[in-house]
């Protein structure tokens, strides 16, 4: 694909102990990286400054003045990616739970399906918290309802490749979940906009630095509200979604 120009976007919030290893693994693939500092503490900000300085043009650093959540950080990275002329962006978390060695197979699928979202389908090891593992299934069920499709195997995985222009266009017209509701909200809305989803299996472990920013009450409230909004947004789309399903069959 002549105009396939990927980059990698990594939202970072106080992962100073993991981000160096994650970045080292990503840079092995010779793809530029955009680090987005989501209002991290001074020690993490210093680590990010040092990494950006060390790697020169291979690493760009975007900095938010205060912590605003993963969704805001990722979308800030995507706006920067658009300004720099990248066609696609790999989104990957900063805590080391994802396998950076899998980046080439994600990019291979993105190059083969440039108009699609390439979404990670997690294969967990023994480190996954059981409550979070089982809790994901409630979200999976709601996503299947809200898309009238099983095309999205996992809507919560933070390892994906997106077409940059499609994401920036969506974000310009639609508010998207700013925190732990981001990954599910954006993939459902992109599906509604007509994008296909290509699922790629990838191993996931929890996490190398022991830092989790999931806040049980706050994030569960946000996720519940998101599912409610998506459900009522799905209702007027039923004819279009069913027609899409029939065409695919």
* pLDDT value at residue 247: 87
Q: Write down the mean pLDDT value for the chain.
A: 91
- R_g (Cα) of the chain, nearest Å: 17
69-85 tens-digit pLDDT: 999 999 999 999 999 99
Q: What's residue 222's pLDDT? A: 80
Where residue 210 falls among pLDDT bands split at 50, 70, 90?
low
Residue extents of the structural domains in the chain: 6-248
CA distance 110 to 1: 10
Q: Model pTM?
A: 0.90
Distance CA 89, CA 33 (A): 9
Q: What pLDDT is recorded for position 231?
A: 96
Residue in 182, 184, 183 with CA at minimum distance from that of residue 141 = 184
From CA 31, how far away is CA 25, in angstroms rounded? 11
Report, as an integer, the average pLDDT of 81-99: 96
Residues 82 and 60 sit within 8 Å (Cβ to Cβ): no
CA distance 125 to 29: 24
pLDDT tens digit sequence for 156-198: 999 999 999 999 999 999 999 988 889 999 999 999 999 999 9
> Domain 6-248: which topology?
Spore Coat Polysaccharide Biosynthesis Protein SpsA; Chain A (3.90.550)
């Amino acid at each position: 694909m002549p105009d396939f120009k990927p980059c990698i976007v990594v939202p970072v919030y106080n992962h100073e102990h993991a981000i160096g290893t994650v970045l080292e693994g990503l840079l092995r693939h010779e793809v530029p990286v955009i680090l987005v500092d989501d209002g991290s503490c001074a020690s993490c900000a210093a680590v990010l400054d040092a990494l950006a300085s060390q790697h020169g043009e291979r690493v760009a650093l975007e900095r938010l003045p205060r912590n605003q959540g993963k969704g805001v950080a990722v979308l800030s990275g995507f706006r920067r990616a658009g300004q720099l002329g990248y066609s696609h962006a790999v989104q990957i978390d900063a805590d080391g739970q994802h396998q950076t060695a899998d980046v080439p197979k994600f990019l291979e699928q993105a190059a083969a399906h440039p108009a699609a979202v390439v979404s990670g389908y997690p294969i967990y090891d023994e480190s996954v918290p059981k409550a979070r593992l089982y809790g994901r299934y409630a979200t999976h069920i709601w996503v299947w309802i809200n898309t009238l499709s099983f095309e999205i195997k996992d809507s919560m995985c933070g390892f994906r490749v997106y077409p940059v222009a499609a994401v920036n266009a969506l974000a310009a017209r639609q508010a998207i979940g700013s925190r732990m509701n981001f990954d599910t909200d954006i993939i459902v809305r992109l599906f509604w906009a007509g994008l296909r989803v290509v699922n790629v299996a990838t191993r996931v472990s929890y996490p190398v630095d022991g830092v989790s920013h999931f806040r049980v009450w706050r994030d569960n409230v946000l996720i519940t509200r998101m599912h409610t909004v998506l459900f009522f947004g799905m209702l007027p789309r039923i004819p279009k979604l069913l027609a899409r399903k029939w065409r695919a069959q």
